[in-house]
């Protein structure tokens, strides 16, 4: 049986550090504040918003919301971002994406000030992931994967890692973060030939394909660590990952469950970034 890498254990440890930083900030008269901007009524945005709001409350971080209609104009949304950029009491901003099709997402994303970009929405923040410079913040989900590896003492140095998925939100930054941890990294995607053999070579596999059950028993072997980023709904309406858990878990050494794995850590990473943004502002 594989060791379960549980999000709640990682989150508990992260939350302790965040609470200590919040206390320090409050001692200096600063209230770390997240501003969530939501356009429209997408159920998955609303669900993530609920989780983030609750986590902020638990950790003593203020959470403000700006809710805009689905037909908001480009000018109105840009004006909103300009306002939060200039608002000194807001330390971090989360804008749900994808945005409705009539909006120019690239222009809107890059309008946010990098120092408030707590989920790596701007090109400037993403450049920080690749250059190693402290510009903005890394994306929360791949960072949550790294937090899980760190928490459970899974050393990446010299290890072979495979990332399945090449999105800019998860796959590509996850690969760069693994390189930073001295792993030798391969990125797989829809055009990869013989993905099971490639995945089997790896010591660590991060799966972010967005396809339920894409990784089955033929992808894995004994000794591997599997981090499942996927969030899908199966035929019975239940939440499931990209990994066929029932088939893979008996074979590998360690695995994250879905739900109960990466997702919950992501929320704490986000709140941690808001607090870090406030600390950078206070401490310079």
CA distance 245 to 15: 27
Which of residues 185 and 231 has its CB atom nearest to ligand NAD in the complex? Answer: 231
Give Cα separations from 226 to 10, 169, 220, 283 (angstroms). 16, 19, 9, 38
To ligand NAD, the closest distance from the beta carbon of 31 in angstroms equals 26
The answer to whether 97 is annotated as binding is no
The answer to whether 47 is annotated as binding is no
Give Cα separations from 81 to 42, 71, 185, 239, 278 (angstroms). 20, 16, 36, 33, 18
Which of residues 25 and 270 has its CB atom nearest to ligand NAD in the complex? Answer: 270
Contacts 24+ apart (CB under 8 A), 45-51: 45/96, 48/96, 48/267, 49/96, 51/267
The answer to whether 231 is annotated as binding is yes
To ligand NAD, the closest distance from the beta carbon of 75 in angstroms equals 28
CA distance 20 to 113: 26
Q: Which of 216, 206, 210 is nearest to 249 (CA)?
A: 216
Site residues for ligand NAD per CB under 6 A: 141, 164-167, 169-171, 188-190, 208-211, 214, 229-232, 262-263, 266
Which of residues 149 and 279 has its CB atom nearest to ligand NAD in the complex? Answer: 149
To ligand NAD, the closest distance from the beta carbon of 168 in angstroms equals 8
Backbone angles phi, psi at 123, to 5 degrees: -60, -35
Which of residues 171 and 257 has its CB atom nearest to ligand NAD in the complex? Answer: 171
To ligand NAD, the closest distance from the beta carbon of 144 in angstroms equals 6
CA distance 262 to 92: 21
Which of residues 4 and 232 has its CB atom nearest to ligand NAD in the complex? Answer: 232
Q: Are 116 and 93 in contact (CB under 8 A)?
A: yes
CA distance 264 to 138: 17
- CB under 8 Å to 231, separation ≥6 — which residues? 239, 241, 258, 263
Scanning 158-203, the segments in alpha helix (DSSP H) are 171-180, 195-201
Which of residues 154 and 188 has its CB atom nearest to ligand NAD in the complex? Answer: 188
The answer to whether 167 is annotated as binding is yes
To ligand NAD, the closest distance from the beta carbon of 86 in angstroms equals 29
Paired residues of 187 in beta bridges: 163
To ligand NAD, the closest distance from the beta carbon of 192 in angstroms equals 6
To ligand NAD, the closest distance from the beta carbon of 141 in angstroms equals 4
Which of residues 37 and 175 has its CB atom nearest to ligand NAD in the complex? Answer: 175
- Residues forming the annotated binding site for NADP(+)? 165-167, 231
State the binding site. 165-167, 231
């Amino acid at each position: 049986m594989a060791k379960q890498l549980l999000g709640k254990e990682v989150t508990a440890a992260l939350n302790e550090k965040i609470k200590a930083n919040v206390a320090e900030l409050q001692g200096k008269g600063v209230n770390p504040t997240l501003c969530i901007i939501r356009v429209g009524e997408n159920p998955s945005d609303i669900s993530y918003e609920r989780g983030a709001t609750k986590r902020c409350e638990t950790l003593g971080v203020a959470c403000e919301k700006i809710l805009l209609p689905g037909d908001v104009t480009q000018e109105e949304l840009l004006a909103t971002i300009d306002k939060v950029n200039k608002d000194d009491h807001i330390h971090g901003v989360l804008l749900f994406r994808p945005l409705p099709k009539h909006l120019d997402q690239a222009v809107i994303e890059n309008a946010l000030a990098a120092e408030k970009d707590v989920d790596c929405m701007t090109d400037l923040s993403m450049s920080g992931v690749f250059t190693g410079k402290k510009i903005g913040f890394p994306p929360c989900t791949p960072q949550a994967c790294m937090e899980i590896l760190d928490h459970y003492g899974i050393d990446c140095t010299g290890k072979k890692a495979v990332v399945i998925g090449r999105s800019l939100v998860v796959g590509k930054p996850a690969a760069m973060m693994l390189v930073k941890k001295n792993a030798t990294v391969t990125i797989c995607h829809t055009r990869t030939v013989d993905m099971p053999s490639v995945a089997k070579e790896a010591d660590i596999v991060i799966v972010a394909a967005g396809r339920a059950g894409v990784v089955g028993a033929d992808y894995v072997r004994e000794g591997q660590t599997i981090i499942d980023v996927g969030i899908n709904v199966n035929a019975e309406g239940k939440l499931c990952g990209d990994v066929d858990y029932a088939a893979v878990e008996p074979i590998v050494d360690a695995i994250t469950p879905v739900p109960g794995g990466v997702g919950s850590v992501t929320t704490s990473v986000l709140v941690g970034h808001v607090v870090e943004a406030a600390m950078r502002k206070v401490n310079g």
